[in-house]
Chains A and B, each alone.
Chain A
C-alpha cells in the first residue's frame, strides 16, 4: 500500500503584475537621467555622478531591503523584491563606474586613498551584488542553499555598506537620508520578525 501522501496547501497566486517593474523602472530611469544631467552643472562630473547615483541606489534599495525583511513568501512579493533589488543594483554599478572613473580606474589609487578595509569591502559588496543578480535572473526563486547564503550575505553587506557610508562617514543630506533608510529598514525587520514569531505561535495557522 502506498503511504498516504501529505498535501501542502498552496495559497492562490495572484497573476503577475507589471506594477513593481513599472515603478522601479520609472524611478531608475528618471533618477538616472536626473543624476546624469544635473551633474553636468556641478564642479566635478565624476564625483557628482557617483554622488547622485548613490541617492538613486538608496531610493531603490530601501524598498528591496524592506521586502527582504518582511519576507518574500509569494511570487508577487518575490518579483517586487527582485525588480527593486535589480534596478538598485544597476544604479549601484553606474555609481561604481563613475566612482572608479573619479579614481582614473586605478585600483591602486582606490586602495591608497580609501584604505584596505573600505576598498576591499566595496569590491566584495559589488561582486556579491553582481553574483546575486546573475543567480536570481538565471535560477529564479528556487536557489540552492549556497545561493541563498550568498543572497543573504549580499543583502546584509549592502545594508551595512550603505549604513556605514551614509550615517557614519557622511554629514548633511546624505547622512539624513541614510538615517531615514535605516529607520525604515529597522522597522521592517522588527515587523518581519514579529510577524514570523507570531505566525509560529501554537494555534496560529
Chain B
C-alpha cells in the first residue's frame, strides 16, 4: 500500500509531469519530422538544363523504388511476359547502356529518376520513389534496318517505340489485382453442395479476396534480393500502397479496369480480349503515341472522356523557340506552361509542381527545349550520305512546295546554340491566327484550317476541347472547384510558381505550321503517327492502310520506320488507319499520290533533300 499512498500523495505532480512530458515529446517529434524532411529532400536547383531534361524529376513520381523493383517478379504476366525480354524492352523504354550510369540509377531506363518526393504531393519521404523525367518520352534510339546495333540516344525526339499507356495500365493492374485469401482458398477447395466452381468466375465475396500486391509479398520478394525494409520504409510504403489501392478502386468508374488482368480464358480464346495489354481492343493508342487530352481532362474534369480519340505521337520538342504557339494544334504560347501540362499527363499535379525544385525543373526543361537541336544529321546518325546533286534539285521542290509553311535550313549550318532553321512566326505567324490561302505567305506558325490540310481531326475537335484551356488555367491558379482537392476551402487563393496567363492557352480546332528541323528523327509522321516514312508523307510512295508497329527498324532509304504489313516478333501492334483518330489522309504536299502534277523524280529529289535536315 505504500506505493499507492505515495502515488496518491503525488498524483497531481505525476499527472502534471506526464502531461508536460507528452507535450515535450510532441514538440520534439514535430521538430524531428521537420529536421528529417530536410534530410530526406534537399532541393537542388540544377543549373544544367540538359541534365534536368534528361535525368531530373518533373513531379511524376508514381511508385516506391522498392516496389518497382519487385513488380516484375510478382507480376511477370504484366511486366515481362516474354522470355528474354524484361519490362524495359517490353514497353519500349531505352536501356541505359553505360553500366556505371545504369547501376547508379538502379538499372532503370533513360528518363527514370529516383527521388525522395512522394507521388502527387511531392512531400518529402524517407522512402525513395521512382519518377519520370522529360527524356522518358522525349528521347529516341533508332536501330537501322539490317543493323541491330543501338545508336546513340537523340534527346528531345519522341520515343517511337514507347508503350507508355500499357506500362501504366500494367501498373494499375498490379495495384488492383486480387487473389483468394485463406478463406477464399478454403471456399474454392470445398464448394457448397459439391458443385465445382468455375474458376473463371469463382463466387467469392470481397472479404475472401486480398490484393496480390501487399506488404508481406513485397517484403518477401525484397528479401530474396537481400533488401530489408526498416520501420519507416514499411510505414511509408504501406501507407502509399493503401492510398494508391484506394485511389485506383475509387477511379475505376473514370478509368475502367486496366487493360488486362480481368479477362477470362474463354474471352481470350474467343478473341474478345487479349492477353497482352499492349494490343487492341483495349489499347487503341499503340507505340509512340499518347492521348494527352484524355489524360488531362480525366484529371481536370474528373470525367471518363471515353469518346476521346485525340491520339498524338510523342512529339520531338526540338527548337521550341521557333514555336510561338506550341503543340500540334498551337494551343499553348507559354513553353513553361506547356512543359507543366505535359508533366501533368504523366502524373504531376499542380501541388507537386509548386515545389521549388520541381517548378525549377519544369522551367529548366522548357528552357532546354527552347534551344534543343537534333544534334546529329541523318548522315551522321546512320552513316548514309544523301546524294548531293539530287538533294540540290530537291531543294527547289522544297522551296516551292514546303518552305512556305515549314521554313528551311540555314546554310551553312551555324554552330549550336544558334538556330539552324530559318523560321519566323514572329513576323509571319500573326500571333498564330489561321492562314489566309489567298495570301501567298510565308505562313510560319499560322493555323491551317482542317479542310485545307485534310488530316485526321480527332486531335483538334475532341469533346471538351473548348473548355479545356480555362479549366487547365484554373488549375494553376488554385481556383478550380470541379474535382479539386481544395473544394472544401472554397478554392484556395495561392499563387502557383508556374501560373500562366489566361491568353497563353487556347482552343484552336486546327493544326499549326511549324519548323521541321531534324525531320528524320521525327518519324513516324503526321500528328497521329499514321504515316511511317517521309517517302509516304510526301506521297512518293503510297501510304499503307494497315501496318504493324512495335520495335520497328529504321528504313534509311524511305526515311522512317520500316513497318511490315504482317505482325512478327518485334512488330505486334496493328495500326489500322481506318479507325477513328488514325486516319493517314491529308497533307498531300507537294501532290496527292499519283494525282494531278505528281512527279516521281521530283519527289525522289525532295526526299534526298529532306535527308540533309
A residues in contact (CB < 8 Å) with B: 18-19, 21-23, 25-37, 39-45, 47, 51, 102-104, 106, 109, 112-114, 169-172
Contacts and interface: CB of A to CB of B under 8 A. Distances in A.
Contacts of B239: 41
B243 A36 contact: no
Given A40-B123, A44-B121, A113-B495, A169 B490 contact: yes
A170 B493 CA distance: 13
A45 B16 contact: no
B69 to A, nearest CB: 23
Contacts of B17: 22
Q: How large is the interface on B (under 10, 10 to 19, 20 to 34, 35 or more residues)?
A: 35 or more
Interface string B3-41: 000000000000111011011111101100110010000
Given A36-B30, A36-B34, A45-B121, A29 B22 contact: yes
A26 B22 contact: yes
Interface stretch (B77-85, B152-160, B410-418, B481-489): B481-489
Contacts of B103: none
B291 interface: no
Contacts of A172: 488
A30 B494 contact: no
A21 B24 CA distance: 12
B243 A41 contact: yes
Given A30-B26, A33-B29, A37-B30, 9 more contacts: A22-B19, A25-B20, A26-B26, A28-B27, A45-B124, A102-B494, A109-B495, A114-B493, A172-B488
**Ordered nearest first, which 8 A-B pairs have the shortest CB separation?**
A29-B26, A29-B23, A25-B23, A109-B495, A113-B493, A22-B19, A33-B26, A26-B19
B349 interface: yes
Contact of A29 (B27, B34, B118, B349): B27
A35 B27 CA distance: 11
Contact of B494 (A18, A26, A28, A113): A113
A43 B25 contact: no
Given A32-B30, A112-B495, A113-B494, A40 B124 contact: yes
Interface of B: 15-17, 19-20, 22-27, 29-30, 33-34, 37, 118, 120-121, 123-125, 239, 243, 349, 351, 354, 356, 485-486, 488-490, 492-495, 497
A43 B243 contact: no
13 contacts: A19-B16, A26-B22, A28-B26, A36-B30, A37-B29, A40-B33, A44-B485, A45-B121, A47-B492, A102-B494, A113-B493, A171-B488, A172-B488
Query: Which of A34, A113, A114 has the most chain B CB atoms inside 10 A of its CB?
Result: A113
A127 to B, nearest CB: 22
Nearest to A27: B23
A22 B349 CA distance: 42
B27 A33 contact: yes
Contacts of B27: 28-29, 32-33
A28 B31 CA distance: 13
A103 B22 contact: no
A22 B16 contact: yes
B26 A104 contact: no
Contacts of B243: 41
A30 B23 contact: yes
A29 B34 CA distance: 14
A91 B239 CA distance: 27
A36 B124 CA distance: 12
A136 to B, nearest CB: 20
Contacts of B349: 43
A54 to B, nearest CB: 11
A111 B120 CA distance: 28
B608 to A, nearest CB: 54
B561 to A, nearest CB: 41
Contacts of A45: 121, 123-124
B240 to A, nearest CB: 9
A30 B29 CA distance: 9
A26 B20 contact: yes
Query: Which of B17, B23, B124, B494 has the most chain A CB atoms inside 10 A of its CB?
Result: B23
Contacts of B490: 169-171
Contacts of A103: 494-495
Nearest to B21: A26
Nearest to A25: B23
A29 B486 CA distance: 27
A37 B31 CA distance: 10
A26 B123 contact: no
Contacts of A43: 120-121, 349, 351, 485
A29 B493 contact: no
Contacts of B121: 42-45
A33 B349 CA distance: 27
A36 B494 CA distance: 20
B26 A32 contact: yes
B494 A31 contact: no
A152 B83 CA distance: 78
Nearest to B13: A18
Contacts of A42: 121, 123
A106 B495 contact: yes
A26 B25 CA distance: 9
A44 B30 CA distance: 17
A27 B22 CA distance: 9
A18 B27 CA distance: 18
Contacts of B494: 47, 102-103, 109, 113
Given A40-B33, A41-B243, A22 B23 contact: yes
Nearest to B495: A109
Contacts of B351: 43-44
Contacts of B25: 29, 33
A109 to B, nearest CB: 4
Nearest to A23: B19
A170 B489 contact: yes
A103 B217 CA distance: 42
A147 to B, nearest CB: 28
Nearest to A32: B30
A35 B30 CA distance: 8
Contacts of A25: 19-20, 23-24
Contacts of A170: 488-490
A121 to B, nearest CB: 15
B29 to A, nearest CB: 4
A47 B243 CA distance: 20
Nearest to B29: A33
Contacts of B493: 113-114
Contacts of A104: 356, 495, 497
Contacts of A33: 25-27, 29-30, 33
B23 A28 contact: yes
Contacts of B495: 103-104, 106, 109, 112-113
